[in-house]
Every structure is written in C-alpha cells, then in structure tokens.
Structure 1
Amino acid sequence: MANLLERLSQRLLLGDGALGTYLYSLGLPRRYCLEEANLSRPDLVRRAHADYREAGSGLLRTNTTGANRASLGRFGLEERVGEINRRGVELAREAAGQGECFLAGSVGPVWLRAWEGNLSPEERRSLYREQITALLEAGCDVILLETFTELLEATLALSVAQEVGAPLVAVSLAVFEEGRLGNGDTLASGIASLRQSSARIVGIGASCGILASLHLLEGIELHAGEFLCAFPNAGKPEFYEGRLTYSASPEYFAASVERFVEEGVHLLGGDYGTSPRHIAAMAPELARLRPRREKPRRLRLPVVEVAREAEPPKIEEESLVDRCKRKPVAMVELDSPRTLSMDKFLEGVRALEKAGADALTLADNSLAILRVSNLAAAVAAQRCARLQTVLHLACRDRNLLGLQSELMGLSVLGFRHVLALTGDPAKAGDHPGATSVYDLNSLGLIKLIAKLNAGVSAAGRDLKAKTNFVVGCAFNPNSVQFDSQVRKLESKIAAGAQYTMTQPVFDAELVRKSAERLKPLGIPVFVGIMPVLNFRNAEFLHNEVPGISIPEGLRERLRYLDGPKATEVGLEAARALAEAVLERFGGIYLITPFTRYDLSVRLLEELF
C-alpha cells in the first residue's frame, strides 16, 4: 500500500462519515458507551465501517475517539483501554477488505466532568500515551487527533503521538462559525502552530456545516508539502421524537466537493449526521478532481466603520477589592424569598443600607432550595437602595451555554461582582427529582469568566467587548483538610479569582489560623460570620449543613436557653468573632439567618 502522504500528493482521498450517529441509526442504544460496542456489538461496528467502505471511503476512522482511561472509566471499563482500541482497529481492517484503504486511529480530547476533578499535564499525557500506543500496535496507518477545541490540548496529544513513534499524525480542530478555538486563537493560527509542531495533515471537523467550513478554509494558506482535511457536519441537528436528525442532503454534500478542493482540501469526509449515502454522493465528484498543491490565503475587503456619535463614558462602580484598600468593607448576605412576596426582602435591603452595609450578596438557590432568582432580586434591590451587589453563580443549574448567557446578561445589566461556585447537588434540596448539570465546577467557572473578561466565549467567539467581572471564590476554613482547602484556593487565584468569601466561622482560633495562612495569598478575604438563633439552629447547622462546624462550647451554652435569650448569646458570640475578623482582615461577610435582617443590622451598627 502506498504511503498516505504520497497518495494525497497525487490524488484526493475520500474519508468516512459520522460513525457514532450512524451506529445509533443501526440500532445501538442511546446512552451506550460507543467505544464499548467494539467488544459487545462488533457486528454493528463492522457493518458501519463496511457501509462507508462500500460507499467509496478510502480512509476509515476507528471507533475509538473516546477510548481513553478517563472516559471509559465512567462505564467501569478503564482496565479495557488496550482491548477496546485494538479491537476497534481490527474491525475497521476487516471492513476495509481488498484494495487501497487507510486506517486512521481516532483519538479525541480527554473531557472531564466538573465533579471528576482536574488532571495535570503529565496525567493527560499518560492517558493519550496508553490509547495511542494500543492503536499503533494494532496497525493504524495514521493517528487522527479529532474534535479538539483547545490548541494546547491538541499540541499535547500530538507530542505524545510523536514520542511513541506514530509514523503519521493528522489533527482536525473543532471551531465554530466564528473561527476561533477555546483560547481565542483563530483557526489559521492554530493550524500554523500545529504545522510548526510537525503535524502533516491538519484541518477542521466535527464543529460546523459545509458553508461555515468553506468560509473558514478560505483563510487557510496552503504550501507545497502541506495537506488539509475537512470533515463537515450535515448541517445543524434537530431533536425530533427522541432522535437527533440532520437536514443536509447527500446531493448538497456532492455539490460542495469541488469548492472544498478549491480551498486546498486533500482528505474530505463528513462528521455528525454524515451517513454512507452522503459519502456515496461525494465519491464520483471527488474522483474526477485533482488535489491543489498551493493556495494563498484569501483576503477580504476591510469593513468600513460608520462614524457614530460618541456615547458618554460609563461611570463604573468602585470594586470591593479596591474599597478594601481604603476602609473595612461590610458585605451582607440576604436570601431572596422562597415565595413571590418581596416585601420583607426589600425592607431588609433598605435597613441594611441605612445601617452602613457596603454590599449585598445574594445566594444562587443555596442548599438547592428554590428561591426567587438572585438576579431578579438584585434588580429589585437596586430600585430601592444603592448597595453594591455580589451575585453567587452556581454551576449546578446551568450548562456551559447557560452560564455564559447568564454572565453576558449580568455584564449588560452592569453587575460586576460574581462569586463562582460549584453549587450544592440538586438532589439534596427541596426538589429531589431535579438533576444537576455541572458542566463546570467552580475552578472551571473562574477560568470561563477570565475568558469573558478577555472578550472571548468558551468556544473562542469574539464578543466585540470585554466583560469586567470582579471574580470571587469560596473557601471552607472548617474543613478537616485545611491545607487541601488552601491549595484549592491557590489554584483558584491562579485561574483568576480576586477575592474569597468563607463559610461561616464560629471559632476565634480558626480566624487566627485563617489570617496566618490566607493573608500571604494577597487577595481580600471576607470571613463569614453568622449568628445562631438557638440550640436547635446550632445543632442543625453543625450536623446537617455541609461546611459548617460549631464548637461544642457554644452549642452547650445554647442548650438550655430559648427565645430572645438564646438569640442574644448567638449575637454575642458573632460580635466577638466579627471583632477578631476585623482586627486581621479588611472586610467581613455577615450571613443573615432565616432573613432575620434585624440581626445583621444590629451587628453592623455595633461594629462600624
């Protein structure tokens, strides 16, 4: 068999389509580990490969895109990485039959869910090394790194493939219509960088349809000895009767073949929604064409900006981080209502402002208990008071799309201060049938906000402006693993956190320890202070609320007290702790229990 690069330099090559979506159409159950089908349903995988081969594919991608230890571990298959990858190559080879047909060992990025933590670069290298080695040992002609949205991740996987001796590596980047990768780099700069790292075949795939792919390829240069690949989707998916369907017809794919060749593509196939019928329609069109060896980048005429009347400059509120540098800052948490009655909440807002609070902080359905949206509550509060607002934002209820939309909305409305949280699990709240999303965790959310502050979305889209969020994060000093919590805080600061708010503290020694360990980190620390109301309240917080620990001495003082007397003891303890906090830190975070804003008002009046 001729070398793949020699083949591409002389003739165009037709790839295959979306193996996954086609397998589902053949009867593979949804919510099934796609790669595990290599072992449990080899008949379906073999048939899918054979159908693409019969349609005219000269390159088959193995059913191994997500067959790394991290992804397979979600299905209890982490010890079968080598077996699944080797079997994937065998099934593709069996389907290839006689004649010239190349096998591409498909490797996708290592995706981790929010609750699965983070992996170091060396840990990720180990995952790629294990998978790629198995594919090479099984006899792949090329390692195809596909569906990579992050250039750093693609470059890391490329270096691993080269280290383990891959004879040829191809990379397809997944960029959307805006033509930017997750870090904001353009497709053109990403491809140039991969070429410098010795990727011989580079291109685009698994992200957008035909027209968008062609549009993006217009900006890619091609020189002698360079090769481009393209695997466009069959249009946008539509969800109908429990299935995703794609509208782009085989005829539409066939009509686009010549344009892809004009843009310098040597290896052309399809991705999501692309069936063997699409490949069969493309085959005769590709057979009559010859590869283009060089192509300049197509330049577009500059857009002429129409002069606009200058808008008056916006007056931006002083950040709490800056305010801490000149005075002690009092931040007060007041929960939005659990009903549609807003009167008591707004009374509390007005009272807190009058008592001297600097900022109002609003939780995002804390403890997964349903409340009025904190954004709506913040807007209502601004109508009756001039307090700054710190909005908590949890990853529990919104996917990556929803989080970005929410943040963009906050920015448009002028809110700057955000506390990035993972969020309490939905099943622990008052709607146990609800599900948690967790596309991101708090660290991922901080990184996302940093991107928005740089003016790009998670997908790399230019937002035409930059958000200006002041990003906060949580810290739990009550944890038995205090040092581990400090390390987590350090990673959040490295990701872009500018201040931290702690869980409520009930121990003066813990205040001292927190000051000793956290002040050197160089960001404002708002230590949480919450008065307990009575013994029952103290027992509940200590035993049933995650992240809260109340000393036995305080609980014993409250055991035989009730009513106002118990509340006074709780207030006295909170006041003493607050004074200890203000001696060591530039701010304080008062947490109002059960909307008893009168207690926060008293603390404010006595402390400031």
Structure 2
Amino acid sequence: MLGALKELLDKGVVVFDGAMGTLLYARGVYINQNFDALNLFRPDLVEKVHRDYLLAGAMVLTTNTFGANRIKLGRYGLEDKLKEINKAGVALARRASGGKALVAGSVGPTGVVPDIFDKSQLALLRDVFREQIEALLDAQVDILVFETFRHTLEINLAIEEARKVFDGCIIGQMALDDSLQTADGKSPERVAQLLRDFGADIVGLNCGIGPAKMAEAISGMVCAGVPVIAQPNAGYPRRLEGRVMYMATPEYLGEHTKQYLRAGAKIVGGCCGTTPEHIRQVANEARLFVGGKIEIPKETVAIEVSDAEMRVPLPVEERSEFGRVLKDGWVISVEIDPPPGTDATKVLEAVKGLASAGIRFINVADGPRAMARMSALSLAKLILDSAGIETILHVTCRDRNLLGIQADLLGAWALGIKNLLVITGDPTKLGDYPMATSVYDLDSIGLLRLVSMLNRGLEPSSRRMKGATGFVKGCGVEPGAKDLDREVERLFKKVEAGAEFVMTQPVFDAEVFLNFLEKVKGIHIPIIMGVLPLVSYRNAEFLDNEVPGMHIPKDIKERMRKADKGEPARREGVAIARELVSQMKDKVNGIYIMPLLGHFEMVKEIVEGMV
C-alpha cells in the first residue's frame, strides 16, 4: 500500500531529494569516513543537507542510512552502533522536515553478491536486512526505500523481510549499467515486473546512469502498473584535481525530468552528484508539468453570494475595442518588450510609430526570457496614456503568488487595462537571475479561472467583492510542441477555464500549423497566429536549433542562407512573413507580430495593405 505517499501522488508529481554521500563529500567530509556514522558524530552536516533539499522543493527526505547495516558498518567497527545510527538518521530527517515532508528510510545493498545455492549466506543477508529495517521502523519512518541494488535476488530478500513487519509504502529501486541492465542481466521492463512481484508498491531506478540514459530506461518500466520513480546521477563521475566531480548541470537534469514525466514517471529526484540546485530544477519542472500549487476550482460555490448578486460579464465585444475586433474583424497586434531600465521613451516612440502605421493593439510582455525589466503593467499604462492604444497585458504565473497576482489584476483594471494574455512564463534559468524562485502558485489554467471569477465579482474564496473586472482574456499555445496532443488537451482546458482567444507561438511551418488547426477545430474561439520576421540566417539557425517548439523548414532556412544578413536578409524575412500570413489569412482571426531586436519597421512592411 502507498500509505502516507498516496495523498501526494493523488495531487500530482512527487519530488524526492538528491544525493547525500556525494554532497557531504563536496562539503568537506573525507571519503575514508563512514558517512552513515555522521548521524551521530556530525549531525549538523546531515541535517543541513536535509534542510537544503527541503528548501529546494523536496517532498520526501531520505535518511542518511544507505549503508547502515551490520556488514558495512562492521568494516569500520561500528556494527554495535547500528540501531543508534538508524534512529538518529530518521530523527535528523524528521526534524529537518518540520512536518513539511515525508521521511523515507534508506536501505542499500550489503555489498555481498548473493549466491542462490548458499542457503546460509541467504539466511545471513535476511538477518542483516531485518535488523536495519526494524531499526528504521522503530524510529517511525513513513516509507522504506530499497535503493541502488544491482542483483534482483538481493533486493528480493530485502523486500520480503520488510513485508513481514511493514504494511506501509515500499519503494524498490535498481541500478543499471551503461547497457541498461542489472548486474544479473535484467532489462528495465523485467526489473519493474520483478520488483512489483517482490512486493514493492513503487518501482524504479536510481544511480548507475545519468539523466539521458535514465530517460531511455524509465519508459520501459511504466508497463508494470505501479507508480515509477526516476533518480539519475548527475552524469558520469570524473576526477578533476584529485576530486570526483559530476558534470551534469541542474538545468540539464531539469530538461530530462520533463522526459521522465512524459514517459509516465510519478516520482522524480536525484542520486549521486545531484545537489539542492538540481532538485530545485526538478521541482520546478514537476510544478510546471502538473500545474500550479493552488487549485482554483472549475465551479465556485459562492457561500455568501446568491446567483442574483453575482455579476454577469458583458459580451466580449462590449468589454473593449480589442474584444469588438475579435468578434467582428481581423486582429493585428504587435508585441513590445518593457525596457530594462526606467526610461520608456524609445519604447513609447516606437508605439506611436506603429499607431501611425495603423496598428491598434500592443501586446506588452511580462518579464520575457526571465529578464529583469520594467513591469509590464507600468508600461501598459504608459502606452495607454501617451498613445491612447489598447494593450494586451501579458500576465505570467512565475513571479507572483496568488495574493500578488490578484492585487495586480485588480490594479490593472482600475488603471484602464482591459485585455489580458495569460501565460505560464519563461523559466528563471533563462534569465538574469537563474537562482530566483519560480512561484507558480497557479498555472495558466488556474489563472484563467481566477480572472473569470474576478469578472463575475468573486474572489477565489467565493466571497463577493466590491465591483468586478471585465477583462477580455486569452491564452497562449505552441503549435509546434513535441507533445502536441498534450498541448491541445491543455488548450481545451484553458478554453474551459475561460480563455476567449488564443495567441500562438511564432509559426514558420505551414504544414505544422495546418495540422494544429485541424486538431483544435472544436475550440470555437478566435485564433491569432504568431508571426516572427527573421532578420538573418544566423537568427533562423538559432531559433530552429535552440528554441523549444520552434521549427523552421529547410526551404525557409535556405532562403535566409542565401540572403545571409543585413538589408537583403531583412527583406527576405518580411517576404517570408507576408507569404505565410497570405496563406493563413482566411484560416485565422488575426496575427500577432513579434519583431526581433527592435525592428519595428518590418511590422509596417508586413502589414502593408492589411490596415
């Protein structure tokens, strides 16, 4: 049974912590010491590791007891301290958790290669495992995790002994070699089946292999019909200047965490070489995968509000000029990034130039590429006051908690902002401050539900507020997403949550976009196609190779290669954009232009004859 872990799994992805031993080594503990004994002799170091993982986002802390069995402790003359070491290990993790995380008792292999024909040896191994398991259970762990086993016979003995005395959650994890097999030749698929049959509630892999290999291996384990856990090493160890180093960055592990989750893993974390920074990235990806931490309900039961008292939002076309064009016309909007400092003069001059060219709507990005800039709300107000142009204010889920988002939305409405584009936001690792905390109290679906409630005069608590907003609210979508089915599924959920229009990421491939349109025929809200005019061949190569979800066809890149850079490339970028717009004009409800590097003159050329 899953026991205490079931509630977390029901809510979504569960994040375990990362390495203990390699982190203690990196923090100055000599490798010739017994790391489990640090629970008694340097408890401050062990507890600090636990606290750091908790702050990074770990929901389960694993005890520093991996080698705290009679055989391994005996090599250091510490076998008589077995119960004390295990008890202290649980106490340190429990104290560090502060009631905010579960505690998993770690049991590792004995280091003895089991011989199926040596009955006395097998009996000894059973006794060894039973001693440690009972010590951990006496200390009241929430979970037992058997990790880094290389022989299926040995982990079978361990799990069998655990099942005799524990009816709670048992996790079984094997370590594979580079050929993706255990030491006794079992494949990931076979490992999952065996661990399940041995009595494990959760099966998976840890150690042995790095993030990329783990992605390949874990996909074969979901067929076992029980939750799967993935905890890779931070790459393969290298010796540099006398120290063992693991080279995979936190960002690299974060990217591969997405693959584990898409493959069906329910629990993620790290093993050797991983650090709290690695787990912070893992936790961020887990939050993004399942949505925000706070759920705004689909249907709100207003405890203090009767149906007659709730506001009914006006039709979209009556809420703003943008809403009217959405209903009856064809939208052309241009994205503007806020300036990096306090002076918005150049941005406002560009907006006035766009207005003179017939542009009626400006998208104001919210912390694009996670760069520190003037707030989007401030710039939207400046544009409204200086140029009289309606803005579409981007609102991201990344930087503000629920209270902050609600406050900004109410303030935006009071300042005259009428249109919103609700998006998740670029991850902080891309920007100026990769260490900045990503909040994600809400995901874009939850934020759309929040705006829908505010438009009805209700707070998330279902209390009636004085007045109501009247935003026209939309969402983003990535037509070239690798997992298009999941992207489309989320789009339908966004529409259900209240999205009234959708703006796409930049489109270059007509075939890809037409396939997307076919899949979303049933959404029945305006689709505004993203257009990003290319400025050089180098620009095209970068977008194609480095930006997720963006694919530039070979023929487009070839055209840009021939034009290369400068004015010829700029003209070719405009021509490509106009051709795409012409091809899709009757299939979409407008275009959303994202000029690069301040090339606003390209906008005027693209829309010539359309405004």
- TM-score in terms of structure 2 length: 0.51
Q: Offset of 1:322 from its aligned partner? A: 3.5
Q: Deviations over 1:135-164 (max 9, x none)?
A: xxxxxxxxxxxxxx99989xxxxxxxxxxx
| 2:421 aligns with one of 419, 424, 429 | 419
Give the deviation of 1:541 after TM superposition: 1.5
1:578 aligned to 2:557? Answer: no
SS of 1:584's partner is coil
Q: 1: distance between equivalents of 2:532 and 2:568?
A: 17
Shift of 1:571: 0.5
The Cα of 1:387 is off from its aligned counterpart by 1.8
Cα deviation for residue 440 of structure 1 reads: 1.6
* SS class of match (1:595): coil
Shift of 1:604: 2.0
Task: Give how far 1:397 is off.
Answer: 0.9
Checking the alignment, whether the CA contact within 8 Å between 1:329 and 1:587 is kept in structure 2 is: yes
* Correspondence 1:186 to 2:303: yes
Q: Which residue of 1 aligns with 2:322?
A: 320
Q: Which position in structure 2 is the counterpart of 1:363?
A: 365
Is 1:184–1:462's contact at 8 Å kept on the other side of the alignment?
no
CA distance in 2, matches of 1:399, 1:414: 23
Show CA shifts across 1:227-282 (max 9, x none). Answer: xxxxxxxxxxxxxxxxxxxxxxxxxxxxxxxxxxxxxxxxxxxxxxxxxxxxxxxx
Structure 1 position 606, deviation (Å): 3.4
Residues 511 and 581, structure 1, Cα contact 8 Å, conserved in 2: no
1:93 equivalent in structure 2 = none
Stretch of structure 1 that moved more, 505-514 or 392-401: 505-514
User: How many angstroms apart in 1 are the aligned matches of 2:598 and 2:303?
Assistant: 49
Is 1:563 aligned with 2:566?
A: yes
User: Residue 321 of structure 1 contacts residue 524 of structure 1 at CA under 8 Å; is this kept in 2?
Assistant: no
Give the 5 Å matches for 1:505-524: 505-524=507-526
Show the counterpart of 1:592: 595
Question: RMSD of the alignment, in Å?
Answer: 4.4
Pair 1:473–1:390, CA change in 2 (3 A): same
Cα distance between partner residues in 2 of 1:544 and 1:389: 30
Partner Cα distance (2:583, 2:381) in 1: 34
Q: Using the alignment, how far apart are the partners of 1:411 and 1:375 within structure 2? A: 10
Q: Which amino acid aligns with 2:582?
A: E
| Matched-pair contact (CA < 8 Å) for 1:533–1:566 | yes
2:512 aligned counterpart, secondary structure? helix
Letter in 1 for 2:409: L
Q: Which residue of 1 aligns with 2:606?
A: 603
Return the offset for 1:432: 2.2
Provide, for residues 487-510 of structure 1, a one-character-per-residue CA deviation record: whole Å limited to 9, x for no partner.
Answer: 111111111111100000012223
Q: Hey, what's the Cα distance between the residues in 1 that align with 2:437 and 2:583?
A: 40
Superposed, 1:188-203 pairs within 5 Å as none
Question: What pairs with 1:440-519 in structure 2 (closer than 5 Å)?
Answer: 440-519=442-521
Instruction: For 1:44 and 1:79, locate their aligned partners in 2 and report how far apart those are by CA, in whole Å.
Output: 15
| Distance apart, 1:78 and its partner CA | 7.1
Q: Structure 2: which amino acid aligns with 1:606?
A: G
CA distance in 2, matches of 1:343, 1:419: 24
The 1:85–1:464 alpha-carbon spacing in structure 2 relative to 1, beyond 3 Å, is farther
Structure-2 separation of matches of 1:432 and 1:317: 38
Q: Deviations over 1:291-331 (max 9, x none)?
A: xxxxxxxxxxxxxxxxxxxxxxxx97535343223221111
Deviation at 1:343, TM superposition (A): 2.3
Deviation at 1:565, TM superposition (A): 0.3
Contact 1:416–1:468 (Cα < 8 Å) also in 2? yes
CA distance in structure 2 between the partners assigned to 1:85 and 1:527 by the alignment: 57
Given the superposition, is the C-alpha separation of residues 65 and 573 from structure 1 closer, same or farther in structure 2, using an over 3 Å criterion? Answer: closer
Q: Which residue does 2:556 correspond to in 1? A: 554
Any idea what the Cα deviations from partners look like across 1:410-442, whole Å, max 9, x if unmatched?
Answer: 121121211111111111112223221112211
Distance 1:150 1:423 in 2: 18
| AA of the residue aligned to 2:303 | T
1:186 counterpart letter in structure 2: I
Deviation of 1:529 after TM superposition, in Å, equals 0.7
The answer (yes or no) to whether the contact 1:477–1:505 under 8 Å persists in 2 is yes
Give the match for residue 347 of structure 2.
Answer: 345
- Classify the secondary structure of the residue corresponding to 2:353: helix
Q: Is the 8 A contact 1:183 1:460 kept in 2?
A: yes
User: 3-state DSSP class of the match of 2:593?
Assistant: strand
What letter corresponds to residue 586 of structure 1 in structure 2?
A: N
C-alpha displacement at 1:370, in angstroms? Answer: 2.1
Measure the CA separation in 2 of the matches of 1:455 and 1:440. 19
**Aligned to 1:435, what secondary structure does the other structure show?**
coil
Summarize deviations over 1:447-488 as a string: whole Å, max 9, x none.
222222232223334322222122211110112322222111
Q: Is the 8 A contact 2:397 2:424 kept in 1?
A: yes
> Alpha carbons of 1:391 and 1:34: their partners in 2 closer, same or farther (altered >3 Å)?
closer
Indicate how the Cα distance of structure 1 residues 150 and 576 shifts in structure 2: closer, same or farther if over 3 A, else same: closer
What does 1:380-459 align with in structure 2 at a 5 Å threshold? 380-459=382-461
Matching residue of 2:535: 533
Q: Which runs of 5+ in 1 are unaligned?
A: 1-26, 49-62, 70-75, 89-114, 125-148, 154-181, 190-314
Give distance in 2, aligned partners of 1:443 and 1:79. 36
Q: Is the 8 A contact 1:345 1:595 kept in 2?
A: no
Q: Which residue of 2 aligns with 1:282?
A: none
User: How far, CA to CA, are the matches of 1:588 and 1:453 in structure 2?
Assistant: 26
In structure 1, C-alpha distance between the alignment counterparts of 2:601 and 2:303, rounded to whole Å: 54
**Paired AA for residue 366 in structure 2:** D
| Cα 1:77/1:423, change in 2 over 3 Å | farther
Aligned partner letter, 2:488: V
Provide the secondary structure at the position in 2 that maps to 1:436.
coil
Answering whether residue 356 of structure 2 is matched by residue 354 of structure 1, we say yes
Q: How many residues are aligned here?
A: 357
In the TM superposition, residue 517 of structure 1 has moved relative to its aligned partner by 3.1
Q: Which residue identity lines up with residue 443 of structure 1 in the other structure?
A: I
Q: 1:374 to 1:35 in 2, by over 3 A?
A: closer
Query: Which secondary structure state, in structure 1, belongs to the residue aligned with residue 520 of structure 2?
Result: helix
Note the C-alpha offset of 1:86: 8.0
1:342–1:187 distance in 2 versus 1, CA, 3 Å = closer
| Contact 1:418 1:469 survives alignment (8 Å) | yes
Q: CA offset at residue 391 of structure 1? A: 0.7
Cα gap change, 1:324 to 1:87, in 2 (>3 Å): closer
The CA distance in 2 between the partners of 1:34 and 1:551, in whole Å, is 43
Give the Å deviation of 1:340.
3.0
How does the TM-score come out when normalised to structure 1? 0.51
- Secondary structure class of the residue paired with 1:547: coil
Matched, 1:376 2:372: no
Call closer, same or farther: CA 1:36–1:397 in 2, change over 3 Å: closer
Cα drift, residue 367 of structure 1: 1.2
Shift in CA distance, 152/333, structure 1 to aligned 2, threshold 3 Å: closer
Secondary structure at the counterpart of residue 320 of structure 2: coil
**Equivalent residue for 1:169?**
none
Q: Give the direction of change, closer, same or farther, for the CA distance of 1:430–1:35 in structure 2 (3 Å limit).
A: closer
1:541 alignment partner, SS class: helix
Quote how far apart the aligned CAs of 1:599 are.
0.9
Secondary structure at the counterpart of residue 393 of structure 1: strand
